[in-house]
A and B are shown apart, each in its own frame.
Chain A
Amino acid sequence: MRLPEVERGDGLANRLLIGFISLVTRMRLPDAARVAFYHKDFGAPIGAWTQAAMRGASAWSVGERELIAAMVAKWNSCAFCEGAHGAVAAHQMQRPLVDAALADFRAAPISERLKATLAFLEIMTLRPAELTRIHAKAVLDAGVSAEALTDAIAVGAIFNIVTRYADALDFALPTPDEFKRAASMLLKRGYAS
């Protein structure tokens, strides 16, 4: 973590909370949660949109949305977010399925509508200025509704934000076991701090 105050918490209440959660869970509170607690008045709308997009009503399952988040993280080379959201996706789907998608989503045994959506989100993430209606039409033609594509675009936009501050702040990388335990917490508690 490159900003010490984010790591330790702003204010006594947050410092105590970070210490308490770390104690109870017997693992270092992940940096993503520390950011959610920090300067809350400023960053709260990120948590609100993330909670709505990841846990609100959607044509996509929670597992599919978590896989989309992990894919965006992979395209942006964000090891923290790929590990964190890959672990949540694996909790909901099969781990080999998540690994296959992360390795090559076009060859993975996932639905054609998810493949078409991921192809769109890959361009959105890596070459956003190139996106045209032809790319969007290809997704609609694959049987994805405009509402479902909107839901997926929201997840893609949010994780194009989160991956950037995760890497700019240099989030500490949890172990695979810690990612797994953090995944259970994210499924139980969600994203709004």
Chain B
Amino acid sequence: MNAPARPDHAALAATLRRRILEEPGETPPAARQAAAQRAAGGPPTQSPYDDLARQIGEAAYRVTDAQVASALSAAGSDKAAFEIIIAASVGAGLFRWEQAMRALKEASDAPA
């Protein structure tokens, strides 16, 4: 019996990015992309979700009820606010994925 193949993490990460940040949802993709970039350490934006996205990126355990309530009010529904929270989280996670994979590639490519 053949051993199961290792997961293609790069493809799984690309699928995640596409669905969460680029495809249609309750919120415009641009709003999700802005939240993701802010949570990945990007500069402040005019987005109504800027404060929540920054907080999710920096220290999500410090997110407050008021920050989520403010985003919910701007988003107009639980589902839309959910998309923004997930997008910000994905932005911070994929930024780390890319940084780490770049470091690994450079270490693997370097002459011994």
> Footprint of B on A, CB under 8 Å?
2-6, 10, 38-39, 42-46, 48-49, 52-53, 56-58, 76-79, 120-121, 124-125, 128-129, 131-137, 140, 146-147, 149-151, 153-154, 156-170
Contacts and interface: CB of A to CB of B under 8 A. Distances in A.
Please indicate which of the listed interface residues A45, A124, A137 has the most CB atoms of chain B within 10 Å of its own CB.
Answer: A45
Given A3-B78, A42-B19, A128-B95, A153 B60 contact: no
- Chain B binding surface SS class: helix
B103 A157 contact: no
B1 to A, nearest CB: 13
Contacts of A163: 60
B100 A42 contact: no
A142 to B, nearest CB: 12
B9 A128 contact: no
A161 B89 contact: yes
Contacts of A158: 93
Contact of A164 (B12, B79, B82, B92): B92
A168 B103 contact: no
B interface residue count range (under 10 / 10 to 19 / 20 to 34 / 35 or more): 35 or more
B16 interface: yes
Nearest to B12: A49
A155 B47 CA distance: 30
A89 B51 CA distance: 35
Contact of A133 (B63, B69, B79, B110): B110
Given A146-B104, A168-B68, A76 B61 contact: yes
B63 A58 contact: no
Given A6-B78, A76-B61, A161-B90, A168 B52 contact: yes
Q: What 8 pairs across the A-B complex have the smallest Cβ distances? A: A161-B93, A133-B106, A52-B7, A157-B97, A136-B107, A5-B78, A164-B89, A167-B60
B107 to A, nearest CB: 4
